[in-house]
Amino acid sequence: MSQRIGVEGAFEKAIEFLKQALEIDPEFAECWTALANAHIMTAAITPSLERVEESAEAARCAQRAIALDPGQGHAFSILGIDEWTRFNPARALEMAFEAYARDPNDADVCSRLGSCLLYLGKAREALPYVEEAVDRDPAYPRNYAMLTSAYLSLGEVEKALKAGQRMADMGAPTVWLALAHLVAGDHEAAMKSHFDTRVYLGSTLMRPPGMPPMDDAARDAYFAFAARGIYSGNEADRVAHCQMLDGLHATMPDPYDSTIVFPAIFMGHSDLVMKIYSERIHPANMFGLMNLWIDIDPINRTIRHPDFMAFAERIGLVEAWDRFGWPDLIPADPHTA
């Protein structure tokens, strides 16, 4: 049930079953890890307004799993995800490496180590772990999203297009394929790929929490407007969509939702991107951090913003870089270089 993305009530039912199992055997370590993962998945891919709270509950379950069995590598990965919500990416990466040391054969462990490195702008280091995750679980679309982003960050556009297309062929939303088309300079294909994602709204592409369903006409109009703003290359369209995102940030029940911050990253709406991540990182929006490091205009406007290093210091990125190495696009601390 915890793998049935887009099925209403599936994650609640998964948590119910896992809790029933733990009532029978409260020392079932693997079940505590599975329960932790169900809470993280609820926070990441359902329209929840309690994403940070779900992450904290996942961490509590993961800690219980580790207390029972220190070999629960996946539980360490989940602790790492929760550390991001606490603005502690250095500790998050430490937990991700610890998870891999304990269970390198787990696809989720590989995936979450790779994603953590991608969030920190370390695509070159992340790529082997992402590729390993794909090899171990080739039917999981999320791994191809990470693979696409890693290739784009490294300038491997043709490989990114193939990875994005593979994700689309699996029936997943074509967000990352659209992004690959954008980087390749094919604005028409990028707009089409983005517009095509409208059919997934309310299923594998979650509706923002607290927002009512849209009828087909409103949905199509919104996606067409967004496609032009994000992918057309027209500055007037970009500005118009950035203004809409500002309005959504001011009015939506979750002002930090991925439906706001992802397009803000893609359009280089730096002030909004830094505002959102400075105030709240949760398991749904942190996935967008890996796209900050795609070095084309307008995406790279955020990392080139004069306030970016102060922002990076504020949310803990600089501490992580000092401990584990600086990102591919910032090979040394600019304050000391």
> Between the CA atoms of 158, 129, 286 and 34, what dihedral angle is there, to the nearest 10 degrees?
130
Q: Which two tokens stand for residue 279?
A: 């105030």
Q: Which two tokens stand for residue 175?
A: 């967000």
CA triplet 113, 115, 118: central angle to 5 degrees? 115
Measured distance CA(273)–CA(260) in Å, rounded = 9
* Residue 163 pLDDT > 90: yes
Closest CA to 176 of 112, 231, 113: 231
Counted residue by residue, the chain has a size of: 337
* Residue 121 pLDDT > 70: yes
The pLDDT score that the predictor gives to residue 224 is: 96
Q: Which two tokens stand for residue 245?
A: 């995102």
The pLDDT score that the predictor gives to residue 319 is: 98
Measured distance CA(14)–CA(39) in Å, rounded = 9
Give the pLDDT mean for 50-65.
Answer: 97
Closest CA to 286 of 253, 302, 262: 262
Q: What whole-number percentage of the chain has pLDDT above 70?
A: 96
> CB-side exposure of 262: number of CA atoms within 13 Å?
18
What are the Cα distances from residue 37, in Å, to 32, 56, 99, 281? Answer: 9, 12, 14, 18
User: b/e string for 109-118 if b means 16 or more Cβ within 10 A?
Assistant: bbbbbbbbbb
The pLDDT score that the predictor gives to residue 337 is: 63
258-289: pLDDT as tens digits: 999 999 999 999 999 999 999 999 999 999 99
- Predicted confidence band at 335 (pLDDT cuts at 50, 70, 90)? confident
The pLDDT score that the predictor gives to residue 5 is: 61
336's enclosing H/E stretch is none
Q: Which two tokens stand for residue 130?
A: 């992402």
Residue indicated by tokens 């951090």:
289
The pLDDT score that the predictor gives to residue 212 is: 81
1-37: pLDDT as tens digits: 776 665 667 788 999 999 999 999 999 999 999 999 9
Q: What is the mean pLDDT of the chain?
A: 94
Domain ranges of the chain: 1-99
Measured distance CA(109)–CA(160) in Å, rounded = 22
* Residue 322 pLDDT > 80: yes
* DSSP annotation string for 57-84: HHHHHHHHHHHH-TT-HHHHHHHHHHHH
| DSSP tag of 232 | S
Measured distance CA(120)–CA(327) in Å, rounded = 6
CATH topology of domain 1-99: 1.25.40
CA triplet 237, 243, 248: central angle to 5 degrees? 125
Residue 132 or residue 172, greater confidence: 132
The pLDDT score that the predictor gives to residue 183 is: 96
Residue 132 or residue 214, greater confidence: 132
Which residue type, as a one-letter code, is found at position 217?
Answer: A
Report pTM: 0.95
Please state whether 215 falls in left (phi above 0), alpha (psi between -120 and 50) or beta: beta
193-238: pLDDT as tens digits: 999 998 887 666 667 887 788 888 999 999 999 999 999 999 999 9
- Return phi, psi of residue 325, to 5°: 105, 145
> Between the CA atoms of 224, 226, 230 and 233, what dihedral angle is there, to the nearest 10 degrees?
40
